[in-house]
Amino acid sequence: MSPASSPAAEPRTPRSRITSNVWVRPARMWSGIILFAFVTTHLLNHAVGVFGIAAMEAVQEWRWALWKAPPGAIVLYGAALVHIALTTHRLIRRQTWRMPDDEVLQIIFGFSIPFLIVGHIAETRIGGSFYGVDEAYRAVLYRLWPSAAWWQSALLVVAWTHGVIGLHHIVHHRRWYPRWRMSCIVLAVLIPVLALAGFVAAAREARAMAPPAPLGEMQRAGIDEVRMLMDSGLAAFAFGVVGLLAFAYIRRRAAATVTLTYRGYGPVKVPRGTSVLEASRMHHIPHPSACGGRGRCSTCRIHVLAGSGELPDPFGVEGRLLDRIGASANVRLACQIRPTHDISLRILMPVLGEQRVREEDEQQIQEWALEQEATVLCLDLRAFNMLTRSSQPYEIAVLINRFASEMTQAVEHRGGRVDQMHGHGLVAIFDTPTGSASARNALNAAQDMARVIDLLNAEISGALPIPIRAGIGIHSGPVVLTRIGADVASSSLRAFGGTITIAARLEAATKDMLADFVVSEATAKISKFDFSGLKSRDIMVDGSDMAVSAFMIGDQEALAQVLGGTKMLAETKAQTAMAAARG
């Protein structure tokens, strides 16, 4: 029974507050995305300056058509007002100033932007719209260079960095992000560098040209008056924010408190309305949060042991996320619930590594666990028990060490790494940034492994009761990379997930299908190799009703035809013949 139906139950969070929280977060996010899009187009326009002022002004016409036209201007200025208002609201609601370093930098840069940009707006947009000031690039650059160059450069770097941090927090939990992370980093560095280079090159060109008409007295007086009004407004805004922060602090100190009882850490008292994650940070309780408390991950989730009936039902981002992960009853996101009554709880996800609170929660969690797309290769030696029964212990040791060394080299040569190595097989992970490269590398590694096995058979055939044979299964999909160990320095990286299970099942299917290689359709598709000459079959995955479509490849020659490596195969046969002759 819901506590709301009990006479002794306290009222839940008002519906109006729940409704407002549903739209506040997406409104703040999308307004920020719109502003970042404006900054991006502006910097790209600057970057064109390396080709000259004429190129900049040509691109500017397109940019003005987007942002200066009434619809674009309304969207832009509306996004600016919404973003500033909602960000200020979020800042005032903070219960603690303990936060990751990148969030501190984002807040500082965000509130610096209005003070850095006010003069530029007055000289360009307002001056051009109301006082007839020339807004063409050659005139603006002439006025900016060199007296305001450092100021404009600082504005460019601050605005861009603020936006990049915000965008990173939005997308870095997306499954596709690890594959594109390096490309995003390159763009994040390249765009402002090119914008600064274009600004300097075009400004120097503008100074070498005939100067534009100077501002008239009426224009200068009008702009100065607007600048003074804007500066006064910003000062009032700054004092207002400081006053609201002070008022919120005093109100929190004077407000009633609630007791949060942490299993393993005991009770702590916090002002009513403080989120559980903020309470953990305030009292130095280790509590992971990969997204920094934005409700975009589930690492901060807790199990409410007592008092869950007094909490509002999950809604908005929390409700959707808990539904997606299939959370059980009384599991909530610590960053989203703000208890107004005493509760008892336990943190479900411990902080790995050093057991202390680190403010770089997101960075720490990414060091320990990461989900990304990869191609998994599973290999297993055939009739290994027969080999061990018919060989001396030293012979087995020589075979296993030679096998492990050669297989590891084959994997690493193709950009992969051995995730697990056991006496008669291995699991290898190929997780290069592009999925196509990972799949192609895994297939080429499989061919290399087959070549090495042929060479081993030729070299040590006299010491083996039967030739070495192996089955290989390959599948592509998401894997979870997790560090195992006491700390990052001494830990080892291991892969987990359904993709490995499927690859192992495909490897086992090589025995039933009398094939050396079984490659899933997922891997075949993204590898862009030609599998059209092969027929696919559905293979059931153990422990589930799922079937995986895969291609059966009988031997190394058939694989070489798929990979286009017939020349390499001929060379391998020649090497094998020479090794057999030496034997």
Domains annotated on the chain, with CATH = 22-253 (1.20.1300.10), 257-359 (3.10.20.30), 364-582 (3.30.70.1230)
For residue 517, CA distances in Å to 378, 424, 444 come to 10, 16, 12
d(CA 287, CA 281): 8
Angle between helices 177-208 and 15-47 (to 10 degrees): 50
d(CA 270, CA 280): 10
Residue pair 25/316 in contact by the 8 Å Cβ criterion = yes
pLDDT of residue 521: 93
d(CA 42, CA 29): 20
Residue pair 402/456 in contact by the 8 Å Cβ criterion = yes
Q: Which three-class secondary structure state does DSSP give residue 514?
A: coil
Residue pair 364/350 in contact by the 8 Å Cβ criterion = no
pLDDT of residue 200: 93
d(CA 521, CA 532): 11
pLDDT of residue 571: 54
Q: Which residue's entry shows tokens 């195969």? A: 569
Low-confidence ranges of the chain (pLDDT < 70): 1-22, 350-369, 384-392, 394-395, 423, 433-435, 460-465, 485-492, 543-544, 565-583
* pTM for the predicted model, two decimal places: 0.58
pLDDT of residue 550: 93
For residue 528, CA distances in Å to 170, 246, 308, 438, 442 come to 31, 61, 52, 11, 13
d(CA 36, CA 109): 14
Q: Which residue's entry shows tokens 């081993």? A: 456
Angle between helices 137-144 and 53-67 (to 10 degrees): 110
pLDDT of residue 434: 67
Give the bridge partners for 479, in sequence order. Answer: 372
Q: Which residue's entry shows tokens 């903020």? A: 278
Torsion of CA 77, 79, 80, 85, to 10 degrees: 130
d(CA 563, CA 519): 13
pLDDT of residue 195: 95
List Cβ<8 Å contacts ≥24 apart for 225-229: 226/122, 226/126, 226/127, 226/130, 227/118, 227/119, 227/122
Give the bridge partners for 377, in sequence order. Answer: 428, 474
pLDDT of residue 164: 94
182: exposed, middle or buried (Cβ count in 10 Å: 0-12, 13-18, 19+): exposed
